[in-house]
Structure 1
Amino acid sequence: MADVKEIEVVVAHRERATLRVGDVFLKIDADQTRTDAEVEAMAMAPIPTPEILWRKPPVLALAALPGTALGRLGEPSTASSAAWAAAGAAVRTLHDAPLPPWPGRSLDEIASELDGECEWLVSNGVLPTDVVTRNRRVAEAALRPWTPVFTHGDLQVTHVFVDGDDVTGVIDWSEASRGDALFDLATLTLGHEERLGDVLAGYGTDVDLDVIRAWWSLRSLRTARWLIEHGFDPEPELAVLRSRR
């Protein structure tokens, strides 16, 4: 640490911030229940996670994972097909694990939030009404009962690290809970539809592709306002919504 020449702000907004100092990530969260969930989820997860170096609320210190992120939303991924398949296999291992003790969001909560976000997107002129209506209709397929599994809950492509063809770890577990397996798969492949086949090859079981597509629309509809209000670029998610037919 003494040789560190600069501090990198990885992400920062009103709720949380993550700083990188050398090979250490410092996560600062105003809501310690999220950090509690993250620490417990990492302890339970049967796949590689960052090493916890220390915790002094509101700060959680984690060791950096080896390798690089599987990809980035809005950019082509240079990772191999084998790496994407390995990510799918890791997700399957997680989904086969015992459930965490805390519940996830209910179907009614998700549907209610979705309706509110669709209304906001239209009333604020973020997207044309027909784009929102089309995606709301596609999203309906995700709003069905599911058998809960241990889900990561925010399995963005940037949260999966690989070295060559191997997964070295998964980060950011604060949204982990009981949830829909297909939500994790959809989040991982959001904006990388061409990689879905590789992920499912590693996942090793048939899934309903219409539900995957529904979660692509639903997640993008739900997150656009949050991104805008917290100073992030929503264009990758908006591009996903515009591409739906």
Structure 2
Amino acid sequence: MLHDAPLPPWPGRSREEIASHLDAECEWLITNGVLPTDLVTRNREIAEAALWPWTPVFAHGDLQITHVFVAGDKITGVIDRSEASQGDAMFDLASLTLGHEERLGDLVAGYGAADVDLEVIRAWWSLRSLGAARWLVEHGFDPDSPGCEFDVLRAAM
């Protein structure tokens, strides 16, 4: 239902902005020796699929399990829409399952298999992980902790 809500009047980031940010982050990861070049290059290639011509929906922008309230098998609320904008529904689904590929089948079943593109979700996993690594490193977080961004990138190989 979230993605069926009326579009907010403000646009999200354009594909060009996303691609430019991705290029800069990949260059930083390689130049600073944070990750092996082949790992970054392969995930950059996978991330290309996220730059597909999606139809904009109301996108949460930071959809994660802690932002979703559930009672039984019903979603009763979604909070923290501070990053909401027009965007790709697959980005939200990727954010919700990042680091938890084993839950992807459950998500697809609940969302509706016909509306889900698994290749694009995996592309967003790579894109989001590549794009977040520098910020995490610079702010004292460890993207190499089990289940975190670097594990997501290695799993894509």
Deviation at 1:122, TM superposition (A): 1.0
Alpha-carbon separation, structure 1, partners of 2:66 and 2:152: 17
In structure 2, the residue matched to 1:152 is 60
- Aligned-pair Cα RMSD in Å: 1.4
Residue correspondence of structure 1 range 89-238 to structure 2 within 5 A: 93-206=1-114, 207-235=116-144, 236-238=148-150
Deviation at 1:218, TM superposition (A): 0.4
Maintained 8 Å contact 1:162/1:168 = yes
- Percent identity of equivalent pairs: 77
> What per-residue deviation string (whole Å, max 9, x for no partner) do you get for residues 15-60 of structure 1?
xxxxxxxxxxxxxxxxxxxxxxxxxxxxxxxxxxxxxxxxxxxxxx
Q: Which amino acid aligns with 2:141?
A: F
Task: Write 1 or 2 for the structure with the bigger share of helix.
Answer: 2
Alpha-carbon separation, structure 2, partners of 1:123 and 1:116: 10
Residue correspondence of structure 1 range 59-70 to structure 2 within 5 A: none
Deviation at 1:208, TM superposition (A): 1.7
Deviation at 1:123, TM superposition (A): 1.2
Task: Write 1 or 2 for the structure with the bigger share of strand.
Answer: 1
The number of residues matched between the two structures is: 153
The structure-2 alpha-carbon separation of the partners of 1:233 and 1:160, relative to structure 1 and needing over 3 Å to count, comes to farther
TM-score, with length taken from structure 1: 0.59
Q: Which amino acid aligns with 1:162?
A: V
In structure 2, the residue matched to 1:244 is 156
Deviation at 1:109, TM superposition (A): 0.2
Alpha-carbon separation, structure 1, partners of 2:125 and 2:2: 21
TM-score, with length taken from structure 2: 0.91
Which structure is larger by alpha-carbon Rg, 1 or 2? 1
Mark the runs of 5 or more structure 2 residues left unpaired by the alignment.
none
Alpha-carbon separation, structure 1, partners of 2:43 and 2:65: 22
> What per-residue deviation string (whole Å, max 9, x for no partner) do you get for residues 104-163 of structure 1?
000000000000000111111111111101100111111121100000001123322334
Three-state SS of the structure 2 residue aligned to 1:173 is coil
Maintained 8 Å contact 1:152/1:173 = yes
Runs of 4+ in structure 1 deviating by more than 4 angstroms, as ranges, are: none
